[in-house]
Amino acid sequence: MASAIAACASNEEPPKGSPPETPKDPAHCRFELPPDPSPTKPPNAPSAILAGFGSAVLDMPIGAPLGGYGERMDFLGGEPVDGRARRFAKSFVPSVGMHDAPRADAVAVLAGGETLVIVRADLPLLNENSVFDLEAAVAPDGSMRGRILLTASHSHAAWAGWQPSLPLMPGIDRPRRDFADRIVGSMALAVKAALASLEPASLGVAVDAAFDPENTVTSDRRGENDEVVGPDGNTAGKDKDPIVWAMRIDRADGSPMAAFINLAVHGTLGEGSNPLVSTDIPGAIARSLSAELGYPVLHLQGAAGDITPREIHSRQACKGAARCLDMPGLEVVGSRAASLVKPLIEGIQMGDKAALEVVTRTFYEGRDYRVKRPDGTELWYAPPDVEPDGVIFDDSGKIANPIDEFATASGAGLCGDPSAGSFASLPSASGVYSSCVDIQNGANILFSLFEVPAPKDTPLCDTVRTTATAVRISGTPSGDWLLATIPGEPTAPYTSYLRSRSPAGPERTLVIGYAGDHVGYVLTAEDWLAGGYEPSTNLWGPLEGEIILDGIIEAANIAWTPEIEDPSAGTSRFVEWEYPPADPIVPIVTADHGTPAPNSIVWWPDTDVAEPPVPAMSVARAVSVARFAWNGGDPAVDMPEVLIEREAAPGVFEPLLDAQGRPASSRDGAVVLTYTPDPLDSPSPAHHVFAAVWQPVPPDPFSHAEPARPFSLPLGRYRFRAVGAAVSAAGKVAYEVVSDPFDVIAAPLSPTASAVRGTSSIEIQANLGSAPGLRALQDGPSDTDIPLLGPWSVELTMADSTIKMVMVEPSPAGAASVPLTESEAQAVVSVIVRDVAGNGGVLQVQ
């Protein structure tokens, strides 16, 4: 039954022609009422904290689509890397491999008698129906309803093709129920692990209100709102949102369990041409911080709607756009971020007592709503049959009210471009409304691109609800805090306005974006009317963001009171979302899984040579690669993990470990994994060839504090070990396969290195030349002109065979002048130049 949602209840008569105080739900939609109301409980006092942590790799097949970029869609020019069949994608190009594995990480906290689980997942976006499914998967009895705060990282190279949304298909492909079950199941594993591991803990929060003023990590990407003034007078649109906050959870013995870092940044360092699944820059920041601090640091999104990552362009010689994911750049930006926020996390004041109140509400969004701003301004939409007058702003520069240009009863997308037309335009559209596509008239065209039938009724029922969570955290050493989630991509003006409306005050309000649902970009009305790309992704026009803001503030007001109220009173959920029909994926039975495939032609991320690789007996540290290909299981069941092992004793291999004792793994970006079916274009390939490529550097990410680390991998014999799964004639089985061993040797000097005689010096240019570009070697290009880092030991051999040893500190470009007497300079015939790890070689003096 449809449920009425109160909206800004008032005793005043509504203005003539405005929507009713209680929005009316579409007659064709049925909404689930909340459980029986719970009585209001007295205030909860801070009590001992229990906390637990859990993590799980998101289970999806290589070949599934990656979300975030519409250009991966066939209709918009998406180009697959080859002619492989699309077993797991519909209208998006298939993924072909993995840079690192998307995960779900969960932290459960019990304090003051209330339970909260924060789940962050490496996903481009998520929808509220997935939150509802996760609650049910964790606790079928309903006990976790409203207790799980779920947020997406917004990586544009993370798994898609599963999110329950039809309007968002141009960014995620046609959704599959079986894929959704796999993703939700993975997240449920993380949540259950966190709840099962609860132990005494302490908690603390800290804020940096002036993050990265030099834009070394992030920068403002939306110029359209630079001059936009927020409803509260804020001018946040002129720059990026500067606020970063952190929360740390320690065990009772003082050892950190995990930390959150809320750092707003779009996950777009990888471009739409990239076919490798990757956690992108949110994952890189988390990985760098985890490596620096020695415990899990989990990234949360903030006001990233108008924030872009700093582009490094570390790959200057990649073989085409599909092979140009800036993997080194991810490490470099991650290290920059870590150096800025590590002190914030380390300096958090911790306390072993706190109280929580968790309020999750699903509320109305749509056209039948009256926005009431604190300054008395009211805004609403005119009925959709009113002829637009073409007046968007009145003579004073304020939004003309009522808004008659958004003349649609069902919502409209792709708005924002005054110079573009529309294949299903709004009546008499002008300005930023010119490009709007009316859902009622355009859904049949849009949905046909994904072979989804047009909806029988509009508006779509899931588009008239959204979900937000507010959490009061009280009693911490740094004071009381309010967490507030935003169900989409908030920009700086919107987030600043939200903070100003918060009952906790702006300095005490911690915002999490991309959480609970995804309505597109979340903007103030003025920001929406400024146009550009951002207004194109939501469906309910310029007022949608502020309609949602009222719902968030209602949840925040409930959470901020000392009493524990019924959080879902007056709310209702749309739970009857149906996935489009799809043929089931039947795993292919294999017999050759777990065997090397040395003669297979596979897709590599660093070379376009279409020949089987010749196994190398030795590879140069840092500047070369080792390769291994093997027959695995059908990717429908096989997401192999590749580990690097080093010979510890003759014939005895042990995992290569990072500085924290964790194995070097393809799950963490140490090895790049790809998949190629054989035959390539077969919908039922007989062979499933996986390939691993490893650039011999330590598994720890690049760190500006240790610039020589990439060149310091211990020399010796190494091998690959792949662990996976397959379906045999007898059922599902596990397999392991190892490569032949190979030697890692010191990196030699490039042929372009030189030693030139001067009158009283030897001028040395020592570089290591080109590199594969899979790992960061420096803050700069990591695949060309790699210098030999200092300090150098330089051994000069004279004509009479005498030797002189000197230590030299070269320039960052690998150049140095060795001062000598004139007679010494004339006598030198050769030099040996080496760094502290032994890389380098002999140069003949010219």
pLDDT tens by residue, 394-453:
999 999 999 999 999 999 999 999 999 999 999 999 999 999 999 999 999 999 999 999
| Residues 65 and 213 placed together within one structural domain of the fold | yes
Domain count, the chain: 3
| Residues 661 and 527 placed together within one structural domain of the fold | no
Domain residues for the domain of 509 are: 47-361+463-560
The reply to whether 214 falls in a domain is yes
Count Cβ atoms below 10 Å from residue 197 Cβ, excluding itself.
Answer: 14
Peptide bond into 635 cis (omega under 30): no
The reply to whether 837 falls in a domain is yes
Report the SS3 class of residue 500.
helix
| Residues 201 and 90 placed together within one structural domain of the fold | yes
Helix, strand, coil percentages, rounded to 5, for the chain: 20, 30, 50
3-state secondary structure labels for all residues of 409-426: CCCEECCCCCCCCCCCCC
User: How far is Cα 197 from Cα 194, in angstroms, rounded to an integer?
Assistant: 5
103-111 and 218-220 as β-strands: parallel, antiparallel, unpaired? unpaired
Q: Which of 714, 745, 776 is the last residue of a domain?
A: 745
Residue 12 pLDDT > 60: no
Residue 16 pLDDT: 65
pLDDT tens sequence across 519-551? 999 999 999 999 999 999 999 999 999 999 999
Per-residue tokens: 61: 């097949």
Residue 174, amino acid: R
The reply to whether 443 falls in a domain is no
| Residues 804 and 740 placed together within one structural domain of the fold | no
Peptide bond into 61 cis (omega under 30): no
Number of residues in the chain: 846
Per-residue tokens: 644: 């690097």
Q: What is the DSSP letter of 159?
A: B
- Closest by alpha carbon to 599, among 579, 614, 584? 614
User: How far is Cα 99 from Cα 119, in angstroms, rounded to an integer?
Assistant: 22
Residue 6 pLDDT: 33
The reply to whether 24 falls in a domain is no
Residue 2 pLDDT: 33
| Residues 78 and 216 placed together within one structural domain of the fold | yes
Residue 612 pLDDT: 81
| Residues 147 and 282 placed together within one structural domain of the fold | yes
User: How far is Cα 302 from Cα 355, in angstroms, rounded to an integer?
Assistant: 24
What are residue 429's phi and psi, to 5 degrees?
-70, 145
The reply to whether 375 falls in a domain is no
| Residues 151 and 84 placed together within one structural domain of the fold | yes
Residue 608, amino acid: D
Any bridge partners for residue 598, and if so which?
A: none
| Residues 87 and 51 placed together within one structural domain of the fold | yes
| Residues 600 and 647 placed together within one structural domain of the fold | yes
User: How far is Cα 616 from Cα 605, in angstroms, rounded to an integer?
Assistant: 18
The reply to whether 432 falls in a domain is no
Stated pTM of the model? 0.95
- The structure tokens 């509260």 sit at 232
User: How far is Cα 292 from Cα 281, in angstroms, rounded to an integer?
Assistant: 16
User: How far is Cα 36 from Cα 49, in angstroms, rounded to an integer?
Assistant: 28
782 neighbors 314 (Cβ within 8 angstroms): yes
Q: Which of 560, 587, 613 is the last residue of a domain?
A: 560
User: How far is Cα 571 from Cα 568, in angstroms, rounded to an integer?
Assistant: 5
Cα diameter, the chain: 104
Under 8 Å CB-to-CB from 657, ≥6 apart: which residues? Answer: 663, 664, 699
| Residues 711 and 665 placed together within one structural domain of the fold | yes
Model confidence at 18, pLDDT cuts 50, 70, 90, reads confident
- Closest by alpha carbon to 585, among 61, 55, 143, 58? 61
Give me the CATH number covering residue 719.
2.60.40.2300
pLDDT tens sequence across 126-176? 999 999 999 999 999 999 999 999 999 999 999 999 999 999 999 999 999
The reply to whether 309 falls in a domain is yes
The reply to whether 568 falls in a domain is no
pLDDT tens sequence across 658-710? 999 999 999 999 999 999 999 999 999 999 999 999 999 999 999 999 999 99
Q: What is the DSSP letter of 390?
A: S
Q: Which of 745, 774, 795 is the last residue of a domain?
A: 745
Residue 5 pLDDT > 60: no
User: How far is Cα 830 from Cα 171, in angstroms, rounded to an integer?
Assistant: 59
Q: What is the mean pLDDT of residues 188-216?
A: 99
Residue 496 pLDDT > 50: yes
| Residues 736 and 812 placed together within one structural domain of the fold | no
Task: Output b/e per residue, 777-792; b: 16+ Cβ within 10 A.
Answer: bbbbbbbebbbbbbeb
Burial class (CB in 10 A: 0-12, 13-18, 19+), 213: exposed
Q: Which CA distances in Å does 381 have to 18, 282, 369, 829?
A: 7, 38, 8, 84
Residue 17 pLDDT > 90: no
What are residue 637's phi and psi, to 5 degrees?
-125, -10
| Residues 650 and 680 placed together within one structural domain of the fold | yes
Model confidence at 207, pLDDT cuts 50, 70, 90, reads very high
Give the rounded distance of the alpha carbon of 222 from its chain centre: 19
- The structure tokens 């309903």 sit at 142
User: How far is Cα 628 from Cα 721, in angstroms, rounded to an integer?
Assistant: 9
Residue 23 pLDDT: 84
Q: What is the DSSP letter of 534?
A: G
What are residue 793's phi and psi, to 5 degrees?
-100, 125
Q: What is the mean pLDDT of residues 791-812?
A: 97
Residue 615 pLDDT: 78
CA geometry: angle at 839 spanning 834 and 844, to 5°? 55
Residue 1 pLDDT > 50: no
Q: What is the mean pLDDT of residues 201-226?
A: 98
pLDDT tens sequence across 46-62? 999 999 999 999 999 99
Residue 21 pLDDT: 76
